[in-house]
Amino acid sequence: MKERLNLFRMVVVSLACLLLASSAFAQAPTLQIDKTSLNNGGVIKVTGKAPAGEPVFLEVWAADKVVRANMFDNKKDKETGVIPYIFYLTNEMPAYYKIFVPVDQADKIAELKKEGKKWSYSKAIKELGAEAAYNVPAKMKTERYKATLMASVIGSRGKLLEPMDDKENKKRSMQLIKSRFRSIDKVLSADVTVAADGAFSADIKIREGLAPGKYNIVAVTGSKQKSAPAVFENKISFPVLYLKTAGTSMNLLWPFLLTLVIAIFGVMM
Question: In this predicted model, which residue has the larger pLDDT, 196 or 82?
Answer: 196
User: CA dist 71 to 47, 90, 96, 177, 189, Å?
Assistant: 37, 9, 18, 10, 24
pLDDT band at 6 (very low <50, low <70, confident <90, very high): low
* Average pLDDT across the chain, whole number: 87
Using the predicted structure, report yes or no on whether residue 256 has a pLDDT greater than 60: no
Helix (H, G, I), strand (E, B) or coil at 132: helix
Q: What is the pLDDT of residue 263?
A: 63
Domain ranges of the chain: 29-236
Q: Could you give the percent of the chain with pLDDT greater than 70?
A: 81
- The pLDDT tens digits of the residues spanning 233-244 come to 999 988 888 888
pTM of the complete model: 0.83
DSSP-derived secondary structure letter, 138:
G
- The pLDDT tens digits of the residues spanning 83-142 come to 889 999 999 999 999 999 999 999 999 999 999 999 999 999 999 999 999 999 999 999
Helix (H, G, I), strand (E, B) or coil at 261: helix
Distance CA 20, CA 23 (A): 5
Helix (H, G, I), strand (E, B) or coil at 256: helix
Helix (H) or strand (E) segment spanning residue 7: helix 2-27
Say which CATH class 29-236 falls into: mainly beta
User: Is the CB of residue 211 less than 8 Å from the CB of residue 95?
Assistant: yes
Residue 213 dihedral angles phi and psi, to the nearest 5°: 110, -165
- The pLDDT tens digits of the residues spanning 20-59 come to 554 444 489 999 999 999 999 999 999 999 999 999 999 9
User: CA dist 6 to 11, 15, 37, 53, Å?
Assistant: 9, 14, 55, 41
Distance CA 53, CA 29 (A): 12
